[in-house]
Homo-oligomer: A and B are copies of this chain.
Amino acid sequence: MLKRVFLKIAYDGTNYCGWQIQENGITVEQIINERLTELLGEKIAVIGASRTDSGVHALGNVAVFDTETRIPAEKISFALNQRLPADIRIQESREVAADFHPRHCNSRKTYEYKILNRRFAVPTERLYSHFVYMPLDVEKMKKGAEYIVGEHDFKSFCSSRSQVENTVRTIYKLEIEKEGDMIHMIICGNGFLYNMVRIIAGTLIKVGLNIYPPEHVQEIIEARDRSVAGPKAAACGLTLVGIAYD
């Protein structure tokens, strides 16, 4: 009997060309499809929730697939991890309703963006944070972040390569905390446009550098124009923390 299996997936994006299958390099989706196909003896093509970019990490991306296997859904995590490379690890597997679709259901996604702000870079943090040499004013970044929270048209924070029509999204939370030399930006919303978190991070870095006053974030939102926001910050600083479904 066919069942739909939900996977919570963590990966180190350093060595992958992102989530989605493409011709130019190895992707996380491709590796998971290959290993599931081997494990279950059926041709598997997962449906992923979030198409993370090249170099972006995940603690809890989500994918589903349908299978006739008699292996209990909860055991698939263990069996699949045995076959996966060390930079991809299933965190949970369970059966879900046959009509559950990870992109069509209402959800809240949480991302973390890490900025290492100190005089010299730290080698062991280089793959998981964006390094900024100049001192950042974290209080100003927090003030700038307040303008992002709420329902807004985020067209200014969407890569111009995107063809999405509706650029309105709701940000429930945007917290900035400094812990030693590391600035953690935690952002939670009902959806994110292409490169949106990285452009928000790049814009708030400009606020922290005193290039933009915090109030300028409001003007950037209102402009609905990608060219007025800051640059997108490095992919390696970004981690998809998790996706919560209603």
Contact = CB atoms under 8 A, between A and B. Distances in A.
Interface of A: 10-12, 57, 59, 77, 81, 86-92, 119-124, 126-128, 239
A121 B59 CA distance: 10
A123 B124 CA distance: 14
A122 B86 contact: no
Contact of A89 (B77, B87, B123, B128): B123
Contacts of A127: 124
A123 B10 CA distance: 7
Contacts of A119: 91
B86 A126 contact: yes
A92 B90 CA distance: 40
B89 A57 contact: no
Nearest to A90: B120
Contact of A121 (B89, B121, B126, B239): B89
A95 to B, nearest CB: 18
A26 to B, nearest CB: 15
A123 B90 CA distance: 10
Contacts of A86: 121, 123, 126
24 contacts: A10-B124, A11-B123, A12-B123, A12-B124, A12-B126, A57-B123, A57-B124, A59-B122, A77-B120, A81-B121, A86-B121, A86-B123, A86-B126, A87-B126, A88-B123, A89-B120, A89-B121, A89-B122, A89-B123, A90-B120, A91-B119, A92-B120, A124-B128, A124-B239
A128 B127 CA distance: 12
A237 to B, nearest CB: 12
Given A81-B121, A91-B120, 16 more contacts: A10-B123, A10-B124, A11-B123, A12-B123, A12-B124, A12-B126, A57-B123, A57-B124, A59-B124, A86-B121, A87-B123, A88-B123, A89-B120, A89-B121, A89-B122, A92-B120
A239 to B, nearest CB: 7
A208 B121 CA distance: 35
A143 B57 CA distance: 37
